[in-house]
Chains A and B, each alone.
Chain A
């Protein structure tokens, strides 16, 4: 395209966006004082910004179109190759283990708490990854299983004095049951419908938790949930934080281990086949219903366990922690990280939770950035940050 055409297109884009955003960006109405604030500087911002962004946009779209033809044969990215190198794996794991053990002792309690949160989201992301990334079932109400786990610990503890360690597997199992409960009626549903039903299911759970006061104590939630004990020893706030951190780390390791095994197994392959082509996978003997239910159940289990840990960590839960936004964030970690890719989801979760924490000043821009990033990733890098790589097998003849 000639420079003149480029210029023309960019100018048109610029004018269009200035027009488009005029009422909302420029005019700020104060209905109390009956004044209008005309923010012309915004218009200039939009005008200039869209001028350059539209050029960038067209350029990137063109590159994407050209890249598409070669892309399928594209080699592995640097990170992917790095992860596959056996020589890198061992020292890499050692370093990470060392860092993890030392982390809570080096950093403050506040920082450790943040990292613990991030790690909880790693578990959530990995769990959702089974359902979306591997099995291709778009579940939008995943936070509901998180809530099931959290509330089951809180309520079991409240009514029956159940301790953390017993509640942990129970939370997982209960969540799995809910997963099957959700999965069973939706077996026949296609992509978008499935997404909406799971969204509806998630919202129903939240609304029930909010309104059924006798059961869940409504919007005020449940307080004084005990932190996990260590053989009944009294621990200070500081020590407990570190303790919880290690528990979550163990949970993460456990999660990675199990999910990795599942992924590279007959079941894992069946999930991917189901995602790729439902009809063909059935023709190969895969039981659609059983495979899908397995995905729902196993995916939900991790959210359940994460929920128990979350309740123990924050000692106070209410429905506001389990809204659609939480589901969206977890979805983002999977989508941005790389669907089906364990390393990708871990990276995605850490990035999405830690970055806003360290960019507190930009906190109010977090959501809008999420939104934009989702769109951009889907257009330009649908595979995610670290794309999934299929396993290659060795065989002796």
Chain B
């Protein structure tokens, strides 16, 4: 067991509303895990808690980039989002949040912000270290775009891209932060079957060649079943099932949650 992310009994309350109820989850190094559930089940809220947008009301979130091999991990509850990213967790958003004023390349370059450090003095004087850092940022961003297949759009304004390309750009941007865990929030939303297939290949490629673990929120069941090694199912904020795709596919509780009583019986 080499968990790089371990969530224990996490609860998230908004005033009187319990959005997440004592959920456990763990991801091992190199795994692709999916988080599924009907709309409003609390999946994006879950992401927001992990990435620091919300502070969980209760429970613990532990991360460890090498899978706690040395027995050490780090509790990240309540850390600010930019700090969480710097620790190696990157995410994409359910509703695309690209930087609309910027070009495709610049969007990815922003991703490199987390791994660079030039400040005011560096910006004004452009010494050797700043210059080489800038060069690194540009090169790295371009290479990521090439790998994702977006290099032809490099100088295009991000908003001008076709929808599927925009979604992939968000992934490229997240990759620039050098994460060990990538959280994808409905990456296939709005994509046609062809694009979804390409996304499937892309996610596999990211895991296989970069060794990045993936936590995926998705509604596209075909994609989920094809990619994931482990699936968590939540409904009304509670975890209702956990297992391999095969197990989940035949789990009556899951079927009931999605389709209702009659079909389950």
Query: Which A residues are closer than 8 A to B by beta carbons?
Result: 72-73, 258, 261-262, 265-270, 272-273, 275-277, 279-288, 294, 298, 340, 388, 390-393, 395, 397
CB neighbours (8 Å) of B85 from chain A are 282-285
Verify A280–B99 contact, CB threshold 8 A: yes
Partner of B80, one of A273, A280, A282, A294: A282
Contact A390:B102 (CB < 8 A) given known A280-B97, A284-B111, A284-B113: yes
Most chain B beta-carbon neighbours within 10 Å: one of A258, A390, A392, A393: A393
| The stretch of B59-67, B118-126, B239-247, B252-260 that contacts the partner chain | B118-126
Known: A280-B98, A395-B139, A397-B142. 4 other contacts (CB 8 A): A282-B82, A285-B111, A390-B103, A395-B138
CB neighbours (8 Å) of B86 from chain A are 285
Most chain A beta-carbon neighbours within 10 Å: one of B106, B137, B173: B106
Interface code B99-136, partner A: CB below 8 Å = 1, 0 otherwise? Answer: 11111011001110111101110111010001001100
Report how far A298 CA is from B121 CA in the complex, Å: 12
Report how far A48 CA is from B7 CA in the complex, Å: 72
Verify B82–A269 contact, CB threshold 8 A: no
Total interface residues on B, CB under 8 Å, equals 49
Interface code B185-209, partner A: CB below 8 Å = 1, 0 otherwise? Answer: 0000000000000000000000000
Report how far A276 CA is from B107 CA in the complex, Å: 11
Shortest A268–chain B CB gap in Å is 7
Shortest A362–chain B CB gap in Å is 36
CB neighbours (8 Å) of A397 from chain B are 142
Most chain A beta-carbon neighbours within 10 Å: one of B82, B111, B120, B130: B82
Query: Which B residues are closer than 8 A to A by beta carbons?
Result: 51, 53, 80-82, 85-86, 90-91, 93, 97-103, 105-106, 109-111, 113-116, 118-120, 122-124, 126, 130, 133-134, 137-139, 142, 154-155, 157, 159-160, 173-174, 176-177
Report how far A73 CA is from B99 CA in the complex, Å: 16
CB neighbours (8 Å) of A266 from chain B are 113, 116, 118, 122-123, 133-134, 137
Verify A284–B110 contact, CB threshold 8 A: yes
A-B contact count (CB 8 A): 121
Report how far A54 CA is from B142 CA in the complex, Å: 50
CB neighbours (8 Å) of A261 from chain B are 123-124, 126
Partner of B110, one of A265, A270, A279, A287: A270
Partner of A284, one of B157, B159, B173: B173
CB neighbours (8 Å) of B123 from chain A are 261-262, 265-268
Shortest B54–chain A CB gap in Å is 12
Shortest A72–chain B CB gap in Å is 6
Secondary structure type dominating chain B contacts: helix
CB neighbours (8 Å) of B133 from chain A are 266
Shortest A368–chain B CB gap in Å is 32
Contact A281:B99 (CB < 8 A) given known A269-B106, A269-B109: yes
Shortest B180–chain A CB gap in Å is 14
Report how far A73 CA is from B158 CA in the complex, Å: 11
Verify B102–A269 contact, CB threshold 8 A: yes
Contact A294:B120 (CB < 8 A) given known A277-B97, A280-B98, A395-B142: yes
Contact A72:B159 (CB < 8 A) given known A261-B124, A272-B99: yes
25 interchain pairs, CB-CB under 8 A = A266-B118, A267-B118, A267-B120, A269-B102, A269-B109, A269-B110, A270-B113, A272-B99, A272-B102, A276-B99, A276-B100, A276-B102, A279-B81, A280-B99, A283-B85, A284-B85, A284-B176, A284-B177, A286-B113, A288-B80, A288-B82, A390-B103, A390-B157, A392-B155, A395-B142
Most chain B beta-carbon neighbours within 10 Å: one of A268, A286, A294: A286
Shortest B80–chain A CB gap in Å is 7
CB neighbours (8 Å) of B100 from chain A are 276-277
Report how far A178 CA is from B174 CA in the complex, Å: 36
Most chain A beta-carbon neighbours within 10 Å: one of B51, B106, B110, B119: B110
Verify A269–B113 contact, CB threshold 8 A: yes
Verify A283–B90 contact, CB threshold 8 A: yes
Contact A273:B102 (CB < 8 A) given known A72-B160, A280-B93: yes
Partner of A72, one of B80, B93, B157: B157
Verify B51–A283 contact, CB threshold 8 A: yes
Most chain B beta-carbon neighbours within 10 Å: one of A261, A273, A284, A391: A284
Report how far A392 CA is from B101 CA in the complex, Å: 13
